[in-house]
Each structure stands twice: as structure tokens, then as C-alpha cells.
Amino acid sequence: MSEIQSTNVSPKLARDKVPFGQKAAFGAGHLVNNLFPGALGVFSFFLLTAFGMDPFLAGILGGLPRIYDAIIDPIIGHLSDNTRSRWGRRRPFIFVGAILSGVFFIILWQLDPNNTQSYNFWYFLIFSLVFLTGNALFATPLIGLGYEMTSDYKERTRLMGFSQTIGQIAWMIVPWFWVVIADPTIFKTQAEGVHKLSIIVGAICMILGVLPALFCKEMDQTNLDNRDNKNKNVFSELLSLFKSIGLISKNKSFMKLCAATFLVFNGFQMVASFSYFIIVFYLFKGDYGMAGTWPAWFSTISAVFTAFLIIPIVTVLSSKFGKKNAFIISTVLSIIGYGLKWWGFSPGNPWLMLIPVPLIAFGLGGLFTLMMSMTADVCDLDELENGMPRKEGTFGAIYWWMVKLGQGIALVLAGWVLEIIGFDASKAIQSTETITNLRLFDIFIPIITAAIAIWVMWDYNLSEEKAKEIKAELVARRGEL
């Protein structure tokens, strides 16, 4: 036993280093994980303009699948935690899920504007649920796989930082889908644009999505899991799932990560559309033609800064000051960036809007890089306290359920804010009071939620030293995985 412990405290083992090829494959999976929801958000707008869907029905098509998605994610996560196969726990799900989600994303968007509205509603609803099932089979085990690809405290942050950098490529591309689909020189109709672009997106996601299943390695814990899996039935599996969720909900460190993520992401999402409205109605007086591609450039440049400047800086900050402190630093910088938007959005000089972008990008760029790395540390703590099997899939599902819940609430609250300030997108000219209030909400909502998130994380205590102690005790208990 002492020999194992002394081995653990020796210099970093070679097995803790994730090879570049595996990082690239995992990053490709995250590119898919960002491209699907990004494309879905853009394409959904054209349900109204290209396919004539009633706004109320379009709202139902946006809301019902989210509820289904929230239910199925923990189930898929639990299944991948408890699967035994010659190919591993996660990789079979990822491989099948990538193909299914790619195929059904294409089918989902082959709507015919000449069909009745009722037919298109049910067509879209049914295939949305099928697509989300395939996407959950892919995305939830992919997140769990990332948590177990390395047991090293700092390498986890480097892995998540690299994958988030690759994932940001999706957000450099997605804003231009609006431009391409609506351009009559590229496609005869918007419906044709949606049809053909969905095929390209679906095919790319299938090709990139299978790469983590083919090239990434996961922990082999088959010999350490001594549970009796005979005579398992649906009822017993559901009981096991609820037991896992109960244990996870008692993990204070993980609950802090979820709460901080909910706050930062919710604050960002609430005002995500406000920047577009401010550009159009404040900088360009409601003239969509003059606004042109400025909103797309704003989003794309934000993603470029996040991918190639912010995430590498956050990774270095994490290595030097620890993950919690890196989160606090990056969140404070984002607060400063949001404040600078008051001067950055200046009529007559739209270039100034790009000045706050690098600081604002620290918000989400630091959030997901660090929170996913810290969740991997929490999985070690859970194994120490509750034993095998490790529950990376369930942790990942609950964490991203919190993200999706925040996004759903943010969309509702954003509409409410726009209503109470009297914003009307059908009017080219908004009142001075409406524009001023819009700008103030755009700045202070994310500042307030980010400040609360810092308060939540202030006494987070799963430090590098504690993480190493946990790892040493786990290795002493069951050896290296």
C-alpha cells in the first residue's frame, strides 16, 4: 500500500497526459456539441419566415422539446455510467448518437412550406424529439468521457480549455447562417437555404461526432465495479438513477458549480439578443440595411477572442492561481467589460462596440473551461465518498441540465424585460427612454448575476492540494485507472 502511495506522489505520470490526437478528437466532439444548438437556434427563426409557422406554435415547438431534453439527459447519463461493453461505457453511445443526430437533424429541416401548418407542426415536433434523443446519446456521454480522460488536476483544465477553443469555431460560423440563408443570390428561397444548409451541417456533425468514439480513451473500471447486474429491470435502474441524483445533490462543491454556472450563463443569455437590438435600433436607427452584417461580425469576433485569446489566458491563470481564483478573476474582468458597453455602443462609430468584447469574453470563456475541469475533480470526490461506479455521465447530465434550465428561463425573462421597457421590433424608431432602458438592462443584468456567482464560489474549497489528496487516497484504495 505504501508503495502505491509513494508512486502517486511522484512526478506526473505519463498516463495523465492526454495525447494531442485525443484532445483533437474530443475537441471535434465539442465542435459538434456547439454547432447543433447554434444551427438549431438560427434555423428555428425561419420556421416563421420560410415555413409560415404561427408564432404561438413555433413557441410550443421551442418549449416542449426542451422539457423532453431535460428529462432524457440524466437517464442517458446514468445508462452510460452503468454500461459494460468491450468498447467501453461512453464510446458506443457517442458513435451511435453522432450518426443518429446528424441524420435526424437533416430530416428535421426538410419541411415543405406548401404543406399545411398542422402537418409541419407535428412533423417538426416528432422529429425534434427523435433528433434530441440522438443528440442526448451523443452529448451526455461525451461530457462524461471528458471528465475521465485524465486524473491530473491541471491537465483537466488544459483538456477542457482545448476542447472549448475548438468548440468556439461553431460560434464563429453560426452567425453567418442568417446571412447565407436569407441571401437571394445564394438560395432562391429561405426554405431552400434551410434544406440545403441542414444537409451540410448534419453531414459535418456526423463525421466529426464519431471521432471521440474512435480515438479517445476512457477509464477501464470493469474489474473494480463489483455490483450485481443480474436481474436488473427498469424499476431497479430508475431507483439507481434517483439514488445517484440524491447523492450528487448532497455534494456541496458540485452544487456551487451548478449555481455559479446558472447565474453567469443565465445573465449572459438574458441579454444575448439585446446587443443585436442595440446595434440595429440605437447605432443604425432601426435601419436593418445599414446594420448589415455588423451583428454577425460582433458575434464572430467575440468567438474568435474567446477561442484564441481568452481560453488560453484562463488556462494559464488556472495553473498559476488555482481554478476558483481563475474563475473569480475572469468573472471580474467580464463585469468590467459589460460596464464598458455603455461607451462602446456609440452611434456613428460602430467599431467601438468591439472594445469591450475581449473582457466580456472572459465570462463564458472562463466559465465552461473551469467549471467542466472542476466537475471532473468533483467526480473524484464522489468516488471517494460513495464508491464505484463513477458517475461522470450523471454529473455531466445534471450540470448541463442546469445550463439548459438557465437558458430556458433566460429566454422567458428576456421577453418579459423587452415587454416592460416597451420595446417593439416592428417599429424602426424606439423611444429614447426605451433605448436607454434596453442599454441599462443589457449592462446591469449580467453584472449582477456575475457578482452573485462570485459570492457563491468564494468559499469553494476543492483546491489543487485537496484534489491531489483525494487522488492519492483513491489510488491507494483501488490502484491507478
Q: What pLDDT is attached to residue 264?
A: 93
Query: How many C-beta atoms lie closer than 10 Å to residue 86's C-beta?
Result: 6
Is pLDDT above 50 for 1? no
Percentage of the chain exceeding pLDDT 70: 91
Average pLDDT of the chain to the nearest whole number: 85
User: 38 exposed, middle or buried (CB, 10 Å; 0-12, 13-18, 19+)?
Assistant: buried
Ramachandran category for residue 173: left, alpha or beta (phi over 0 → left; psi -120 to 50 → alpha) = alpha
Q: What pLDDT is attached to residue 328?
A: 97
Least confident stretch, 76-85, 88-97, 142-151, 200-209: 76-85
Tens of pLDDT, residue by residue over 229-259, are 555 555 566 676 677 777 787 889 999 999 9
Is pLDDT above 60 for 224? no
Tens of pLDDT, residue by residue over 86-124, are 888 889 999 999 999 999 999 999 999 889 989 999 999
Q: Is 263 in contact with 457 (CB distance < 8 Å)?
A: no
Q: What are phi and psi of 228, to 5 degrees?
A: -85, 105
Query: How many C-beta atoms lie closer than 10 Å to residue 457's C-beta?
Result: 23
Is pLDDT above 60 for 398? yes
Alpha-carbon distance 135 to 40, whole Å?
Answer: 12
Least confident stretch, 126-130, 299-303, 385-389: 385-389
Least confident stretch, 115-119, 227-231, 341-345, 461-465: 227-231
Written in H, E and C, the secondary structure of the chain is: CHHHHHHHCCCCCHHHCCCHHHHHHHHHHHHHHHHHHHHHHHHHHHHHHCCCCCHHHHHHHHHHHHHHHHHHHHHHHHHHHCCCCCCCCCHHHHHHHHHHHHHHHHHHCCCCCCCCHHHHHHHHHHHHHHHHHHHHHHHHHHHHHHHHCCCCHHHHHHHHHHHHHHHHHHHHHCHHHHHHHHCCCCCCCHHHHHHHHHHHHHHHHHHHHCHHHHHCCCCCCHHHCCCCCCCCCHHHHHHHHHHHHHHHHCCHHHHHHHHHHHHHHHHHHHCCCHHHHHHHHHHCCCCHHHHCCHHHHHHHHHHHHHHHHHHHHHHHHHHHHCHHHHHHHHHHHHHHHHHHHHHHCCCCCHHHHHCCHHHHHHHHHHHHHHHHHHHHHHHHHHHHHHCCCCCHHHHHHHHHHHHHHHHHHHHHHHHHHHHHCCCCCCCCCCCHHHHHHHHHHHHHHHHHHHHHHHHHHCCCCCCHHHHHHHHHHHHHHHCCC
Alpha-carbon distance 481 to 156, whole Å?
Answer: 15
Q: What pLDDT is attached to residue 364?
A: 87
Tell me the pLDDT band of 7, cut-offs 50, 70 and 90: very low
More confident: 181 or 82: 181
Region 127-148 average pLDDT: 92
Region 219-231 average pLDDT: 55
Residue 116: CB partners within 8 Å, gap ≥ 6?
Answer: none
Alpha-carbon distance 144 to 90, whole Å?
Answer: 7
Region 336-354 average pLDDT: 91
Region 397-409 average pLDDT: 79
Cell of 326: 481563475
Alpha-carbon distance 415 to 410, whole Å?
Answer: 9
More confident: 310 or 240: 310
Q: What pLDDT is attached to residue 9?
A: 42
More confident: 472 or 85: 472
Alpha-carbon distance 379 to 1, whole Å?
Answer: 23
Region 365-369 average pLDDT: 90
Alpha-carbon distance 193 to 320, whole Å?
Answer: 47
Q: What letter represents residue 373's amino acid?
A: S
CA angle 448, 449, 452 (to 5 degrees): 90
Region 322-333 average pLDDT: 96
Is pLDDT above 80 for 212? yes
Q: What pLDDT is attached to residue 220?
A: 66
Is pLDDT above 80 for 382? yes
Q: What pLDDT is attached to residue 425?
A: 66
CA angle 62, 66, 69 (to 5 degrees): 145
Q: Is 142 in contact with 91 (CB distance < 8 Å)?
A: no
Q: What pLDDT is attached to residue 323?
A: 95
Is pLDDT above 50 for 6? no
Percentage of the chain exceeding pLDDT 90: 43
Alpha-carbon distance 183 to 441, whole Å?
Answer: 32
